[in-house]
Structure 1
Amino acid sequence: MQRIHRLFEIDDFSSLKNQLLIWGNKHQTVVWLDSNNHKKSNIEGVLAVDKMSYISSDYMNAFEHLKEFINSIRDYAFGYLSYDLKNDTEKLSSNNIDDAAFPDLYFFQPKKIIEVCDQGLLFKYPTHLENEIDTDWKAIQNTTKKESVKKTFDIQQRTSRESYLKQVKKAIDEIHKGEVYEINLCQEFFAKNAEIDPLDTYLDLNSISKTPFATFLRMDDKYLLSASPERFLQKKKTILTSEPIKGTAKRENTPEKDAHQIVALKNNTKEIAENVMIVDLVRNDLSHIAEKGSVKVKELCGIYTFEQVHQMISSISCELKLNIHVVDAIKACYPMGSMTGAPKIAAMKFIEKLEDSKRGIYSGAVGYFTPDHNFDFNVVIRSIVYHQTKKYLSFSVGSAITAKADPEQEYEECLLKAKAMRQVLS
């Protein structure tokens, strides 16, 4: 499909990005992706609103349906893959409780795309909507946000502290048996009768997190508010890149103590082992779709600092084989190893037995396809899921369990990762 491009030069993005999202949220279908000035992302920010066509699916043949959709529109597509698409890649199931009730897969072909780039705002509209560009630009500049009042509600744990510690011990037992050597174990925090302003909550979450793969997603009454620091998979021309995170340390309140945390994380043998295990898993996933000899570890166990935590991140790349469809490339690597453990299939089977909630969109991926079949997807972590009609709110956190795991420390790591979500909801 043909799109007209129009650039408006901008000097100051600081307030304009919020205005752009506030304007965008007036639509029923919205995806906003924000890199928060981090260099890892292709773009500073992009907004996609309104749908010309879309696909919403359960896991059955989901990747094949997505491939057909991408082929048919020959245009941009924005949306998400839920964790439970694992049931399409392998003979698995998801039988745990699912109160958020999001589709397993959702993508839409947007009417309007506005990209924040170095020069300003780049409008990418269908040719028949060209006359709306000036009107929308004026509306964005005049957009203001009404103040909302926070309402109190109780956040509950789906899994009690005692139950979680028992689950970690069971995971360690399975690891000692030798069928699996790392399990990413998650737990859900939730609230019923929760009333929030999704946009305000996202803006608060993003302001205290400032991560490179932040996301605001809206599908009518369903919202994802994400402060994700992690890239699942990116395709630029023929190069695929995955950047798994394994290894977390909290920020400290003085430069000296904070520097000590970085050094401690960099030399933590347990965290390094977790990271290297997942790097090997990603290398294996990519090897099935890569040109021979092209899989490379570009960075191993690099330490990156964010507002709330320090993270250990590795980067693995390869050259995609000719004639492999982009959706098949994603399917070959899905779900991401950083959210499963290794070996992947065995880990996912134990996850289903141990956890108390269906993951759904949590530990899935949000992103986009371009008309020339490039793509970029995050990992849905550090995120709030909200069903406005049901007034159901949820966020989940997890940690990687290995043979050296200490249940109490794993529980504390979960609380650390939940800190930002709790802060904006309190």
Structure 2
Amino acid sequence: MRTLIHKSIQNPKLFKQQLLFWSQQFREIIYLDSNDYPQDYSSYDCLVALDAFTSIKTDYHNAFEDLKQYQQTTRDWLFGYLSYDLKNNTESLVSKNFDGLGFPDLFFFQPKKLFLLKGNQVEIQYLNCCDDEVETDFKEIIETEIAREELASKVIIQQRISKENYLEKVTKVLEHIHRGDIYEANFCMEFFADNAIINPFEKFSTLNAISQPPLAVFFKNNKLFLLSATPERYLRKEGENIISQPIKGTSKRFLDPIADEKSKNDLALDPKERSENIMITDLVRNDLSKTAQKGSVEVKELCGIYSFLQVHQMITTITSKLDAQYAAIDVIKTSFPMGSMTGAPKIEAMKIIEELEETKRGLYSGAVGYFTPSGDFDFNVVIRSILYNQEKKYVSFSVGSAITSQSVPEKEYEECLLKAKAMREVMKSINTN
């Protein structure tokens, strides 16, 4: 049973910061923040899940079935992540590239403490506890003084793939496209730092402030951290309604309003960016059709342009209605990983990606989110994110772009650097070779 208490708060923005800072004492944290970004598909402004009562941690073998059993057994709130490498659970695929982070392929937990914020109202749900504990914690949170301290250690970020090597690899992707093996592939590269000592709370606070995305995440599982400024939704379930919002198409923001508007309009009209987006839209439509009621897959908005603090993005919204014979996990299993992070055709693109990339993606381009007790869910796509293994002192962030027949390798490289801008700024010191 969950104790449920409602509270009114005077300053939601301050309360979120106090809550996240207070949360650092717990072994498990998931903090999901919409940053008040206007969006059609959102139940809460912020969710914070703390302190595992039960949890599941596994590699990709039988991962989706294990998660389905865990979700159907607990029938409670569950928070966690699906790594990109769960692709190996559903297809004959492998992940043999270097992995400096060492995150499990899948991790979910049932939180003892849960905070759900909407406007100036916060709903607090605690598992197996009394009202007194909730009241004591709430008093502690609103009296918390946030200490913003940066650690002294200098972090030198390096590129895993040099510019020259990147251009060669993109040329190889283009060869596959021209041979007809694939139409599109999302090719990614890693930035990393060894012997890195960072303050995850501080780095996330900075990253979130300069990005303010609608699907931000602070995740902690003991010594493993994700600091995410992702703007992309992978999949959401509301009753029988399924929503996916792939992003394909990126352009710069400018301080000058006229230049910024031009950048936005140029993105909307760019034939290469539109073709990228439409190819992935078709892929996602196909993925959703596997569990949809007949004739229910629909493109609600095609190639819409949305502005964020760092970039303009082209986003398509695709919906379907879930066929009653399928469980919530089945929708995820049959559409994972997100098409925007793979390519088309999906399986062949993932094989080529694996051959050419030099880092195991792990949680990058996977998904973080939650299940409700009724089986609804909401998951983002892990992009624009910093990953950190505190024990190994290893920091990593990856970026990628969609390679199509119209791609110019130099421009794809520039797009990757644009996407890396916020993470580079947060990490401050950068060394590109």
Q: Is this a same-fold pair by TM over 0.5? A: yes
One-letter code aligned to 1:351: I
State the partner residue of 1:138: 139
State the partner residue of 2:109: 108
State the partner residue of 1:330: 332
Cα distance in 1 for partners of 2:238, 2:249 equals 27
SS in 1 for 2:139: helix
State the partner residue of 1:36: 35
State the partner residue of 1:368: 370
Cα distance in 1 for partners of 2:208, 2:279 equals 30
State the partner residue of 2:308: 306
Shift of 1:229: 0.1
State the partner residue of 1:160: 162
State the partner residue of 1:233: 235
Cα distance in 1 for partners of 2:38, 2:76 equals 26
Moved more, 221-230 or 112-121: 112-121
State the partner residue of 2:405: 403
Shift of 1:311: 0.1
One-letter code aligned to 1:106: F
Cα distance in 2 for partners of 1:252, 1:380 equals 25
Cα distance in 2 for partners of 1:281, 1:42 equals 27
SS in 1 for 2:379: strand
Does 2:62 correspond to 1:61?
A: yes
State the partner residue of 2:431: none
Moved more, 245-254 or 119-128: 119-128
CA contact (8 A) 1:190 1:392 kept: yes
Count, aligned residues = 425
Over 4 Å off, 4+ runs: none
CA contact (8 A) 1:7 1:121 kept: yes
SS in 2 for 1:164: helix
CA contact (8 A) 1:33 1:46 kept: yes
Cα distance in 2 for partners of 1:44, 1:68 equals 29
Cα distance in 2 for partners of 1:393, 1:230 equals 22
One-letter code aligned to 2:30: V
Cα distance in 2 for partners of 1:192, 1:291 equals 49
| TM-score of the aligned structures, taking structure 2 as reference length | 0.97
Cα distance in 2 for partners of 1:47, 1:408 equals 41
State the partner residue of 2:414: 412
One-letter code aligned to 1:6: I
Cα deviations across residues 218-267 of structure 1 (Å, max 9, x unaligned)?
00000000000000000001000000000000101110100000110000
CA contact (8 A) 1:48 1:110 kept: yes
SS in 2 for 1:133: helix
Does 2:260 correspond to 1:261?
A: no
Q: 2:172 aligns with which of 170, 173, 181?
A: 170
One-letter code aligned to 1:38: Y
SS in 2 for 1:266: helix
Shift of 1:127: 4.5
Does 2:351 correspond to 1:349?
A: yes
SS in 1 for 2:116: strand
Moved more, 223-232 or 323-332: 323-332
Shift of 1:186: 0.2
Cα distance in 2 for partners of 1:4, 1:98 equals 41
CA contact (8 A) 1:175 1:182 kept: yes
State the partner residue of 1:98: 99
Shift of 1:125: 1.2
One-letter code aligned to 1:25: Q
Moved more, 225-234 or 126-135: 126-135
Cα distance in 2 for partners of 1:112, 1:106 equals 17
Cα distance in 2 for partners of 1:49, 1:19 equals 14
Cα distance in 1 for partners of 2:94, 2:367 equals 19
One-letter code aligned to 1:121: V
Cα distance in 2 for partners of 1:260, 1:148 equals 39
Cα distance in 1 for partners of 2:111, 2:75 equals 12
Cα distance in 1 for partners of 2:233, 2:277 equals 15
Q: 1:196 aligns with which of 189, 195, 198?
A: 198
CA contact (8 A) 1:11 1:120 kept: no
Q: Any residues of structure 2 matched to 1:277-292 within 5 Å, and which?
A: 277-292=279-294
Cα distance in 2 for partners of 1:302, 1:309 equals 14
Cα distance in 1 for partners of 2:26, 2:259 equals 45
State the partner residue of 2:3: 4
CA contact (8 A) 1:102 1:361 kept: yes
CA contact (8 A) 1:184 1:398 kept: yes
One-letter code aligned to 1:104: D
RMSD: 0.9
Q: Any residues of structure 2 matched to 1:205-224 within 5 Å, and which?
A: 205-224=207-226
Shift of 1:119: 4.0
State the partner residue of 2:49: 48
Cα distance in 1 for partners of 2:381, 2:106 equals 14
Shift of 1:39: 3.1
CA contact (8 A) 1:214 1:228 kept: yes
State the partner residue of 1:13: 12
One-letter code aligned to 1:176: H
One-letter code aligned to 1:26: Q
One-letter code aligned to 1:301: C
One-letter code aligned to 1:16: F
CA contact (8 A) 2:150 2:202 kept: no
Moved more, 39-48 or 372-381: 39-48
Shift of 1:328: 1.1
Cα distance in 2 for partners of 1:92, 1:118 equals 44
**Structure 1 residues 238 and 138, CA gap change in structure 2 (3 angstroms):** same
SS in 1 for 2:115: strand
Does 2:384 correspond to 1:387?
A: no
CA contact (8 A) 2:111 2:127 kept: no
One-letter code aligned to 1:279: T
Shift of 1:118: 2.3
One-letter code aligned to 1:99: G
Cα distance in 1 for partners of 2:404, 2:345 equals 12
Shift of 1:3: 1.6
